[in-house]
């Protein structure tokens, strides 16, 4: 149990997926201009990440390893994720229109989001068991949502700040991300 | 567009990293040393050039193109993922230290937006030779960009520049001369965001300056 709490905490804060592992930078910069869209994107990522990590973990353990074809990992994972995102989109459209309305536009963007494939591969290379995989993925996803949300609030304020002309847009966003990264890396001292 | 323009557009005018902001994740993560950046460039170069070539071969055959068109994105992904797997296996076998220091970012070349982006925007509608030239230019542009970031980060953070293996330039005497320590922050995640942000701002400033000058020239002539 202690192990799981530790794993959850380090996935959430210390090994934060955006600020210390640099996965999912594209949505971090692209979809973080408004609070509502940051929230939507974060939710969609958690949702897809959980489903795709579970499926790829099971596939890896019971198909790829069983048949000794682990070198097919990259090809299998990306195809599974791409088709899963499609399936989730169609499924949501039919079953839960309100949820589809909230997450729908972010789903196609997720296929090429390196966070989803990255976490699927990390779960394999860190040799997590199924429970650890679920905890790790959930908290990595929550960490993504958390940082996206903080960052979108900062960017909303930034719209009214007198930013030098050369820094407008991406450069100032990156400098702010650097300051956030300092704060998050200091949390490492807690454990 | 002639071959020369086609080649150089990837390096300066349409630089995938500094101008289009594509492929950000690896450019922040693997730029802790020049050696890692060079390794990443080699990987991206191999995958981008070959995927551009193969995809434009498929798409320039009219029969095959009609067949592939409705499912073209999955087809691109399979081509790219196969090439990435080749890179992964070759690196694991011959450059194990590089393989472990790049880690998860080698398989993640699959989802690097530059490669899928070039496949869709260029290779699918151009001849194989043009696509190869485009791929070489884009890969070099990306490589130069991440090498620039990594030179700043490794020098400021560590005081060295590692080109390849034991070939290392030690520049700590500059820090000794100034009586300061290397700033370790620059090889940590913080430094990645900061360096990238400052380089981008510098480039924007230079570009703005250039634009103003051009506008003045036009105004004077008019």
Q: DSSP letters of B21-58?
A: --SHHHHHHSTTSHHHHHHHHHHHHHHHHHHHHHHHHH
pTM above 0.80?
Answer: yes
Q: What's residue B91's pLDDT?
A: 92
Give dist(CA B26, CA A98) in Å, integer.
35
Whether residue A182 lies within 8 A of chain B, CB to CB, comes out as yes
Of B21, B107, B116, the CB nearest to A112: B116
pLDDT of residue B151: 92
Instruction: Tell me the pLDDT of chain B averaged across its residues.
Output: 87
Q: Which residue of A has its CA nearest to B205?
A: A166
Residue A53 has pLDDT above 90, yes or no: yes
Q: Is the pLDDT of residue B1 over 70?
A: no
List the single residue in B with minimal CA-CA distance to A112.
B111
Where residue B41 falls among pLDDT bands split at 50, 70, 90?
Answer: very high
Which one of A23, A168, A172 has the shortest CB-CB distance to B25?
A: A23
Structure confidence at residue B54 (pLDDT): 93
Longest C-alpha distance within chain A, in Å? 60
Confidence of residue B51 (pLDDT cuts 50, 70, 90): very high
Confidence band, pLDDT 50/70/90 cuts, at residue A33: confident
Percent of chain B with pLDDT over 70: 99
Tally of CB atoms within 10 A around A183: 12
Q: Do B25 and A73 touch (CB under 8 A)?
A: no
Element (H, E) at B170: strand B167-170
Looking at per-residue confidence, does B95 or B4 come out higher? Answer: B95
Q: What is the pLDDT of residue B137?
A: 92
- In this structure, are residues A77 and B104 in contact, taking their beta carbons and an 8 Å threshold? no
ipTM (interface pTM): 0.85
CA distance B182 to B54: 45
| pLDDT top residue among B36 and B4 | B36
The answer on pLDDT for B185 being more than 90 is no
For chains A and B, count residue pairs whose Cβ atoms are closer than 8 Å.
118
Cα–Cα nearest to B196, from A174, A177, A183, A164:
A174
Q: Which residues numbered 37-66 in A keep a CB inside 8 Å of some CB on B?
A: none
Total of domains in chain A: 1
- pLDDT per position as a tens digit, B77-124: 899 999 999 999 999 999 998 898 888 889 888 888 888 888 888 888
Q: Domain residue spans in chain B?
A: 3-216
Give the separation between CA A114 and CA A40, rounded to whole angstroms.
18
- Report the residue of B40, B109, B186, B193 to disrupt the A interface, i.e. the one with the largest count of A CBs within 10 Å: B193
The yes-or-no verdict on residue A111 having pLDDT over 80 is no
* Residue in B with minimal Cα distance to A177: B193
What pLDDT does residue A62 have? 92
Query: Do A177 and A19 form a contact (C-beta atoms < 8 A)?
Result: yes
Residue B215 dihedral angles phi and psi, to the nearest 5°: -60, -40
Helices B189-221 and A170-186 cross at an angle (nearest 10°) of 170
pLDDT in tens, A135-177: 999 999 999 999 999 999 998 888 888 888 888 888 898 999 9
Which pairing describes strands B160-164 and B167-170: parallel, antiparallel, or unpaired? Answer: antiparallel
What pLDDT, in 10s, does the model give residues B118-175? 888 888 888 889 999 999 999 999 999 999 999 999 988 888 888 887 788 888 888 8
- Report which DSSP code applies to B163: E
Q: Show Cβ contacts of residue A164 under 8 Å, excluding neighbours closer than 6 positions.
A: B201
Write the DSSP symbol of residue B183.
-
Record: contact B77-A170, CB cut-off 8 A: no
């Amino acid at each position: 149990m202690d192990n799981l709490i530790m794993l959850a905490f380090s996935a959430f804060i210390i090994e934060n997926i955006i600020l210390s592992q640099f996965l999912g930078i594209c949505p971090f910069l692209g979809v973080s201009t408004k609070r509502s869209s940051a929230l939507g994107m974060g939710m969609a990522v958690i949702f897809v990440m959980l489903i795709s990590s579970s499926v790829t973990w099971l596939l890896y353990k019971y198909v790829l390893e069983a048949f000794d074809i682990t070198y097919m990992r990259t090809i299998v994972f990306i195809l599974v994720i791409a088709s899963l995102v499609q399936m989730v989109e169609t499924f949501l459209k039919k079953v839960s229109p309100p949820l589809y309305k909230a997450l729908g536009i972010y789903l196609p963007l997720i296929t090429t989001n390196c966070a989803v494939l990255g976490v699927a591969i990390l779960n394999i290379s860190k040799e997590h068991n199924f429970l650890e995989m679920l905890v790790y993925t959930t908290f990595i996803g929550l960490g993504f949502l958390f940082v996206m949300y903080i960052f979108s609030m900062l960017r909303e304020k930034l719209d009214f700040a007198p930013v030098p002309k050369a820094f407008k847009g991406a450069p100032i966003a990156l400098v702010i991300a650097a300051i956030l990264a300092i704060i998050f890396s200091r949390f490492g001292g807690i454990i | 567009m002639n071959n020369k323009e086609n080649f150089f557009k990837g390096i300066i005018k349409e630089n995938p990293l500094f101008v289009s902001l594509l492929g950000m994740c690896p450019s922040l993560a693997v730029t802790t040393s020049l050696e890692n950046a060079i390794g990443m460039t080699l990987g991206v170069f191999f995958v981008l050039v070959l995927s551009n070539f193969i995809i434009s071969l498929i798409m320039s055959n009219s029969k095959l193109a009609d067949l592939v068109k409705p499912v073209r994105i999955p087809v691109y992904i399979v081509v790219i993922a196969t090439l990435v797997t080749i890179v992964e296996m070759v690196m694991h076998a011959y450059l194990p230290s590089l393989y472990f220091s790049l880690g998860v970012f080698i398989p993640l070349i699959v989802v690097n937006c530059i490669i899928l982006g070039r496949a869709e925007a260029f290779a699918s509608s151009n001849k194989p030779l043009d696509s190869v030239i485009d791929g070489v230019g884009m890969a070099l542009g990306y490589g130069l960009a991440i090498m620039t970031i990594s030179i700043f980060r490794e020098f400021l953070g560590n005081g060295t520049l590692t080109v390849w293996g034991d070939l290392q330039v030690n520049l700590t005497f500059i820090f000794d001369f100034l009586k300061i320590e290397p700033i370790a922050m620059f090889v940590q995640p913080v430094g990645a965001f900061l360096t990238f942000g400052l380089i981008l701002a510098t480039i924007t400033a230079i570009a703005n300056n250039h634009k103003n000058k051009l506008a003045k020239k036009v105004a004077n002539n008019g």
